[in-house]
Amino acid sequence: MATGSMINGKTSHWWHQLGQPSRRPGLPGDLTVDVAIVGAGFTGLWTAYYLKQARPNLKIAVIEQEHAGYGASGRNGGWLTNSITGGREQYLKQSGFAAFLRRSGLGRLPGGFGGGLASGSTSGPVSRDTVERFQTLFNQTVTEVMRVAELEGVDADIKRGGEFNVAYTPAQEARLRRFAAAEQRWRSTDLQLLEASEARAKINVAGTRAAIWHPHCARIHPAKLVSGLAEAVTRLGVTIYEGTRAIELESGQVITDHGTVRADFVVRATEGFTANLKGLKRLWLPMNSSMIATEPIAPEIWDEIGWREGETLGDFAHVYMYAQRTADDRIAFGGRGVPYRYGSRTDNDGTTQPVTAQTLGDLLRRFFPQLQNTRIEHLWSGVLGVPRDWSATVGLDRSTGIAWAGGYVGTGVAATNLAGRTLTDLIIGERSELTEMPWVDHRARRWEFEPLRWIATRGLYTAYGVADRQEFAGRKTTSPIAKIADVITGRH
Ligand SMILES: Cc1cc2nc3c(=O)[nH]c(=O)nc-3n(C[C@H](O)[C@H](O)[C@H](O)COP(=O)(O)OP(=O)(O)OC[C@H]3O[C@@H](n4cnc5c(N)ncnc54)[C@H](O)[C@@H]3O)c2cc1C
């Protein structure tokens, strides 16, 4: 696989393809509005969108340090999926030893997936019915995003082909089957277990042993969706001030490098960049994720691979990958990279270490050996926000008027829409089903001081990487190294 003329950074392949946007004007000076939103990613823009639908007369300003969609919203893998960050089980009422483990942060119940350390969280457990309802709302959110995109004339290459996750080692297969059994105990998941031949008929991943699939996921083109949404919001009368950096958020005002915005409500929608705001350095850890995009792949190779329906593709490795077949027949493939930069530093316009293209390219070839000579055209990275308990949160502090949403870890494309609708209800003061969901006002304790953050994150990723290599080499059961790392992070 060649990487010779590969582009590194320039925000993302998605923006490069669409063309870098021309900047909207910055904040002209001090300003007074009803609602000031900091961050023009999906969270900020969906919040502005639904607030305007609910209260057309509200004066809303969105403050953005670069341009709308500069962050993860314009760089992601394009999975519009129904995942609840940190898994569903975390919200359930638990008793006895399991509850002790969760409260103490020592582990979580088996069966959950992709979740985290629950130490120091403040929200209480809820009933199984509420968690089912929460999942159903996430399922419906996929449809809601598609509805608004169509209504607003946003063509974002959306194709709803469901989410497909494959196992290609014995240890991955064991985890997949345990996961499928646990998922099938929930009414709202609609998960199907596919044996190897059925799985390969959908997407022909080399070495497939089994896969799972569910219908609540669509592939999107991130930059097309976020830029279309920014235009829709602007048409509704919201002003997006670009090239304007917020320095500090306070009750009733946002202090920026261009002046102060006074507002009844201030919404923090800065996700992976939150650590740059005054006083919030240890709130959410900025975690990097990296992606590559190949050149367009020839039809005869696609005939061998399949992947015809726009499914998103993931796996059951510990450091998992995520991919989509793009509308123009490339593969956009994400996963390993430098996970964390010392001192919570964020990246430089998506530029990342070139060796990441090699790592991701090797894995892509492992999946599809037909791509030996396929060129990688683009490499980039983005930053996502990781709370200490790996659980997303949305809320409003009525005493200060400061609202927030984020901490979606790697699953925010759909979650931001549900968060935007929830913030709208909280801000206009309407109690609704959305405001009763368990992520509302959920708070986790802050991350440790450096160098502990750096040591812990690097150590865990190294451990997961070693475990994956052991499993690739034929280990039949989950590596004990990964099991120890799982206990520390609270996964599984
Ligand atoms: C490489 C990658 C792949 C991913 N893949 C997927 C996926 O396939 N599916 C999925 O569901 N999720 C995925 N995610 C996560 C998902 O993209 C995010 O959860 C989601 O986009 C978050 O949206 P947001 O608006 O909260 O944050 P962002 O999109 O990061 O927006 C925050 C905005 O705030 C601005 N900002 C920050 N600080 C300031 C400040 N001080 N002043 C002014 N403006 C500021 C930033 O410039 C940015 O535009 C991925 C993330 C990455 C990085």
Please give the angle made by the CA atoms of 379, 385 and 387, to the nearest 5 degrees.
145
Reply yes or no on whether the pLDDT at 143 is more than 90: yes
Tell me the CA–centroid distance for residue 448 and ligand 1, in Å. Answer: 23
How far from each other are the two terminal CA atoms of the chain, in whole angstroms? 35
Atom of ligand 1 nearest to the CA of 411: 11
Sign of the alpha-carbon torsion through 189, 190, 194, 198: negative
Reply yes or no on whether the pLDDT at 364 is more than 60: yes
Average pLDDT over residues 330-338: 88
Which has more confidence, 71 or 111?
Answer: 71
Q: Is 340 in the pocket of ligand 1 (CB under 6 A)?
A: no
The pair phi, psi for residue 459, each rounded to 5°, is -60, -45
Secondary structure of residue 480 in the 3-state scheme:
helix
Q: Determine which helix (DSSP H) or strand (DSSP E) holds 366, and give its type and residue range.
A: helix 355-367
By the 8 A CB rule, do 310 and 159 touch?
yes
Count CB neighbours of 484 within 10 A: 13
Tokens of 353: 């270490």
Tell me the CA–centroid distance for residue 306 and ligand 1, in Å. Answer: 31
pLDDT, tens digit, 9 for 90 and up, residues 418-444: 999 999 999 999 999 999 999 999 988
pLDDT, tens digit, 9 for 90 and up, residues 346-362: 768 999 999 999 999 99
Average pLDDT over residues 402-412: 96
Q: Is 49 in the pocket of ligand 1 (CB under 6 A)?
A: no
The pair phi, psi for residue 24, each rounded to 5°, is -75, 155
Tell me the CA–centroid distance for residue 42 and ligand 1, in Å. Answer: 7
Q: Is 42 in the pocket of ligand 1 (CB under 6 A)?
A: yes
- Ligand 1 pocket, mutate which of 47, 216, 384 (most atoms under 8 A from CB): 384
- Ligand 1 pocket, mutate which of 163, 165, 270 (most atoms under 8 A from CB): 270
Closest CA to 439 of 453, 418, 411, 424: 418
Q: Is 65 in the pocket of ligand 1 (CB under 6 A)?
A: yes
Residue 94: predicted pLDDT: 53
pLDDT, tens digit, 9 for 90 and up, residues 293-321: 999 999 999 999 999 999 999 999 988 89
Query: What residue spans of 85-127 are helical by DSSP H?
Result: 96-104
Within 8 A by CB and 6+ apart from 298, the residues are: none
Residue 324: predicted pLDDT: 98
Report the share of the chain in percent with pLDDT over 90. Answer: 74
Average pLDDT over residues 464-492: 75
Secondary structure of residue 35 in the 3-state scheme:
strand
Q: Is 416 in the pocket of ligand 1 (CB under 6 A)?
A: yes
Q: Is 64 in the pocket of ligand 1 (CB under 6 A)?
A: yes
By the 8 A CB rule, do 111 and 89 touch?
yes
The CA distances from residue 326 to 14, 119, 279, 286, 350, in Å, are 10, 39, 40, 27, 20
By the 8 A CB rule, do 115 and 86 touch?
yes
Atom of ligand 1 nearest to the CA of 78: 8
Tell me the CA–centroid distance for residue 71 and ligand 1, in Å. Answer: 4
Q: Is 14 in the pocket of ligand 1 (CB under 6 A)?
A: no
Which has more confidence, 389 or 130?
Answer: 130
- Ligand 1 pocket, mutate which of 70, 76, 233 (most atoms under 8 A from CB): 76
Which has more confidence, 466 or 446?
Answer: 446
Tell me the CA–centroid distance for residue 394 and ligand 1, in Å. Answer: 15
Tokens of 78: 């394009």
> To the nearest whole number, what is the mean pLDDT of the chain?
90
Residue 488: predicted pLDDT: 62
Closest CA to 147 of 410, 426, 414, 433: 414
Lowest-pLDDT range, 152-156, 331-335, 431-435, 453-457?
A: 453-457
**Which residue's alpha carbon is at the smallest distance from atom 33 of ligand 1?**
39
Tell me the CA–centroid distance for residue 303 and ligand 1, in Å. Answer: 34
pLDDT, tens digit, 9 for 90 and up, residues 379-399: 999 999 999 888 999 999 999
Residue with tokens 């894995």: 363
